[in-house]
Amino acid sequence: MIEFKDVGVRRDGRELFAGASFQLHPGHKVGLTGNNGTGKSTLFALLLTRMGTGDTEVTVDRGEVSIPDSWHVAHMAQEVGASAQTAIDYVLSGDEQWYKINAALSDLSTVSDDQIGVLHQQFDEVDGYRTPTKAAQIMAGLGFNTNQHELPVEGFSGGWRMRLNLAKTLMSRADLMLLDEPTNHLDLDAILWLETWINAFMGLVIVISHDQAFLDNTVGHILHVEQKKITLYTGNYQQFIRTRHERMAQQQQAFEKQEATKAHLDDFIRRFRAKASKAKQAQSRIKQLERMSELSPMMADNPFSFQFYEPANMSSPLIELTNAGIGYTDTPMLHNANIQVTPDTRIGLLGMNGAGKSTLIKALVGELKVLSGTYNVSDTLKLGYFNQHQMDALDAAATPLQMMRRLAGKTSDAELRSFLGSFDFRGERIDTPSELFSGGERARLTLALIVWQRPNVLVLDEPTNHLDLQMRQALTMALQGFEGAVVLVSHDRELIANVCDELFLVHDGQIDEFDGDISDYGKWLSDKRKEANSSDKGADKKGKNKKAKKKFVNKDDVSRETDAENHVSQPDNYKHAKKKLANPKSEVSSSLSKEEQRKLAAEQRKLTAPIRRDIENSEKALVKIDAALAMLEEKLADTELYEDSRKSDLMALLNEQTTQQQQHSENEEKLLHAMTTLEEMEAKSA
């Protein structure tokens, strides 16, 4: 295992960690989190230094770091240099043991006959014949085609080189794997594949990531760096947030109580320090004040607080593609595209790498002319378009304030500085040329420039690639409050789930409405991979995936055929009742007598009775749980509860609160499922 005992670390004269103590065991999947600049990369560098690898040496000021001598580490670096080495060979070199043996077997001129037998035995021991297949599978999972295997590394763009670097890291026979932002250059299908790979990995993984869904689906521990402390939490990222908020609430209460005590002591000292009769008591209070440990108040620690302005003018539709053929040559990549963007549009675009999502985006914003069909935009259209190119096109020599000045006319510097401050451009960063900015800062500045221009349509192509978790949360909140249209391509599932009302799938040259949510898309991708690997690859893919999607023609003309049973696990009596109500009244002969119609209605009420009872029971349970939670909140507000002598009482109440909250969620979900089922059944019988 890895063990830190009271570790303190300084770097460039600044103390990053003080008194860090924790243990990490083989098989743990750990998310390393914390604000930028708190020392996450330094922690990686320290581990690499202790294991005899890494480019930057980090020393420990005090304490002890223990790592097994036999452990091997694999680290995903952030840069990949140009190389003439082929892509597949570069990936295979990640398995150093196999690569060394294979190189020796490939050139036997310097190997004795006795050594040849040993090499072949070693090759068998490392399962050498299957290693190239493993490399090919990893490359396929990360989005590489087989015809890219023999291309030189230097022929790939920066983002694809990072994928190669990740593939090389995953090939390693490591006991400890350090992954620094592995999802930054991946699309959603590659991220989903990587989640599966990490969960199957037997060693210890420590990952730095700003993708909340990725952390939730892969890690079982969070190592959080904050205020020079490193705290180990059990659970995924969502559980960490919940636990941390509870601790912060307790800390705030303890701080407020301490501040009141300090004020009382200060007042006593001020009034009686000069009086001989009270001097001894005053000195005692001074010592008590000095011994009192300093507690930090709870701070709202997200530095981003921006929002989109209300669009000035809007009409409908704002953008419209009709029977459009879209592509870069005479042969369309997408056929018969029909999309209408209205003021209330909230579309998330899904699709495998290379399916045409970015191509569709370029057609929507007018960068790419349609090959056939029509493309029309409203006179009121004011487009806010974010993509990597927009970031790269920032004036390198200009500062954020100078760029804002070009857009803002006579707006005062004070107002512009306040606006930029909401994107965390403060102090000297406002007057720093953008060429000195990190990728995250350039992304924030690009978003700030877009927000200022008051768009009524936002087209966002991977807006979160360089953003940390706090900025992603701020962007999500801002988009939820935006009063215009949104078209979004993102591998951030939390962003898609919280912002988009509709999902469209770009696949096989078509744009299809996806009948499901973002989690269903993961299942669809899994099915597609199985289909691609099956013996019947030539089967009609559309027929196989008919249940997963339906052709999108026009939002107003499409008949909604959503079946809740495809997405919600429902009790058998629900399914039985729905089957019984499969034929609506409209199909029953109009010649039924009133008595027969009354009997039919009674039968239908009987069939829905169990569901109505479930709804009633869930509602009653929720009322009781709400009352219990309100009572718990009153008890937890008692400041005396946070004294050391009441620790067991506090933990009991917190555990009870967690239990009640879990029961509330379960009953709420059960209620929602029952109400959805009842609504569908009543619609069928209407």
Q: Give the model confidence (pLDDT) of 547-570 as tens digits.
A: 333 333 333 333 333 333 333 344
pLDDT for 505 equals 93
The last residue of one of the domains, among 503, 537, 560, is 560
Please state which of the ranges 15-24, 276-285, 423-432, 659-668 shows the lowest mean pLDDT: 276-285
Structure confidence at residue 685 as a pLDDT band (50, 70, 90)? low
> In degrees rounded to 5, what are phi and psi of residue 307?
-150, 155
pLDDT for 551 equals 35
CB 265 within 8 A of CB 285: yes
DSSP tag of 588 = S
Instruction: Say which residues have a Cβ less than 8 Å from residue 108's Cβ, sequence separation at least 6.
Output: 116
Instruction: Say which residues have a Cβ less than 8 Å from residue 119's Cβ, sequence separation at least 6.
Output: 101, 104, 105, 111
Q: Are residues 356 and 494 in the same domain?
A: yes
For 73, left (φ over 0), alpha (ψ -120 to 50), or beta? beta
User: Which comes out higher in pLDDT, residue 259 or 64?
Assistant: 64
Average pLDDT over residues 337-358: 90
Whole-angstrom distance, CA of residue 550 vs CA of residue 512: 6
Residue 592, in any domain of the structure:
yes
Tokens of 282: 């005053």
Whole-angstrom distance, CA of residue 634 vs CA of residue 620: 22
Whole-angstrom distance, CA of residue 148 vs CA of residue 553: 35
Tokens of 120: 């072949």
Label residues 329-351 b or e (16+ Cβ within 10 Å = b): eeebbbbbbbbbbbbebbbbbbb
CB 18 within 8 A of CB 148: no
Whole-angstrom distance, CA of residue 31 vs CA of residue 207: 5
Q: How far is CA 166 from the centre of its chain?
A: 18
Q: Are residues 60 and 86 in the same domain?
A: no
Whole-angstrom distance, CA of residue 130 vs CA of residue 138: 13
pLDDT for 275 equals 58
- Looking at the structure of the chain, the number of domains it has is 5
Q: Are residues 519 and 663 in the same domain?
A: no
Q: What is the pLDDT of residues 141-162, one digit of tens each?
A: 998 988 899 999 888 877 888 8
CB 234 within 8 A of CB 220: yes
CA angle 470, 473, 479 (to 5 degrees): 140
pLDDT for 271 equals 66
User: Which comes out higher in pLDDT, residue 112 or 226?
Assistant: 226
Q: Are residues 132 and 188 in the same domain?
A: no
Q: Are residues 334 and 279 in the same domain?
A: no
Residue spans of alpha helices (H) in 51-130: 87-92, 96-106, 113-125
- Domain around 281: 241-291
pLDDT for 257 equals 65
In degrees to the nearest 10, what's the CA dihedral of 592, 598, 600, 602? Answer: 180
Instruction: Say which residues have a Cβ less than 8 Å from residue 197's Cβ, sequence separation at least 6.
Output: 138, 141, 170
Q: Are residues 213 and 112 in the same domain?
A: no
Residue 437, in any domain of the structure:
no
Please state which of the ranges 63-67, 276-280, 396-400 shows the lowest mean pLDDT: 276-280
Tokens of 305: 């607080």
For residue 457, the cross-strand partners are 383, 485
Residue 435, in any domain of the structure:
no
Average pLDDT over residues 113-139: 85
pLDDT for 157 equals 79
Residue whose C-alpha is closest to residue 360's, from 511, 551, 548: 511
Residue spans of alpha helices (H) in 409-453: 413-421, 439-452
Residue 438, in any domain of the structure:
no
Q: What is the pLDDT of residues 450-469, one digit of tens each?
A: 999 999 999 999 998 888 88
> Cis peptide leading into 317, omega within 30 of 0?
yes
Label residues 367-400 b or e (16+ Cβ within 10 Å = b): ebebbebebebbeebbbbbbbbebbeebeeebbb
Whole-angstrom distance, CA of residue 424 vs CA of residue 254: 29
Whole-angstrom distance, CA of residue 384 vs CA of residue 317: 16
pLDDT at 415 > cutoff 80: yes
Q: Are residues 555 and 584 in the same domain?
A: no
pLDDT for 155 equals 87
Query: For the chain, first and last CA: distance in Å?
Result: 64
Q: Are residues 189 and 67 in the same domain?
A: yes
Average pLDDT over residues 582-608: 59
Please state which of the ranges 18-22, 189-193, 263-267, 452-456 shows the lowest mean pLDDT: 263-267
Whole-angstrom distance, CA of residue 531 vs CA of residue 141: 14
The last residue of one of the domains, among 134, 161, 188, is 161
Q: Are residues 67 and 105 in the same domain?
A: no
pLDDT for 224 equals 92
* Residue 639 to residues 249, 258, 318, 634, 650, Cα–Cα distance (Å): 11, 10, 55, 11, 10
Q: Are residues 190 and 260 in the same domain?
A: no
Tokens of 4: 């830190």
pLDDT at 509 > cutoff 80: yes
Beta strands in 415-558 (DSSP E): 457-461, 485-489, 502-507, 510-514, 549-551
> In degrees rounded to 5, what are phi and psi of residue 195?
-60, -45
Residue 651, in any domain of the structure:
yes
Q: If DSSP states are collapsed to H, E and C, what string results for 255-271?
A: HHHHHHHHHHHHHHHHH
The last residue of one of the domains, among 539, 560, 581, is 560
* Range among 53-62, 242-251, 597-606 with highest mean pLDDT value: 53-62
User: Which comes out higher in pLDDT, residue 640 or 172?
Assistant: 172
Q: What is the pLDDT of residues 285-302, one digit of tens each?
A: 565 566 554 444 433 456
pLDDT for 576 equals 46
Q: Is 270 exposed, middle or buried (0-12, 13-18, 19+ CB in 10 A)?
A: exposed
Average pLDDT over residues 578-602: 53
* Residue 35 to residues 52, 424, 466, 595, Cα–Cα distance (Å): 27, 13, 14, 71
Locate tokens 């005692």: which residue? Answer: 284
Q: Are residues 580 and 626 in the same domain?
A: yes
- The CATH number of whichever domain residue 364 belongs to comes to 3.40.50.300
Other Cβ atoms less than 10 A from the Cβ of 168: the count is 23
User: Which comes out higher in pLDDT, residue 30 or 498?
Assistant: 30
Residue 497, in any domain of the structure:
yes
Structure confidence at residue 633 as a pLDDT band (50, 70, 90)? confident
Q: Are residues 594 and 643 in the same domain?
A: yes
pLDDT for 122 equals 85
Please state which of the ranges 108-112, 575-579, 665-669 shows the lowest mean pLDDT: 575-579
Report the amino acid identity of residue 503: L
pLDDT for 440 equals 83
Structure confidence at residue 420 as a pLDDT band (50, 70, 90)? very high
Residue 372, in any domain of the structure:
yes
Residue whose C-alpha is closest to residue 567's, from 501, 526, 523, 504: 523
CA angle 296, 300, 301 (to 5 degrees): 85
CA angle 647, 650, 652 (to 5 degrees): 110
Residue 422, in any domain of the structure:
no
* Residue 637 to residues 240, 256, 630, 632, Cα–Cα distance (Å): 22, 12, 11, 9
Q: What is the pLDDT of residues 49-78, one digit of tens each?
A: 888 876 778 888 899 999 998 999 999 876
% of the chain at pLDDT higher than 70 = 78
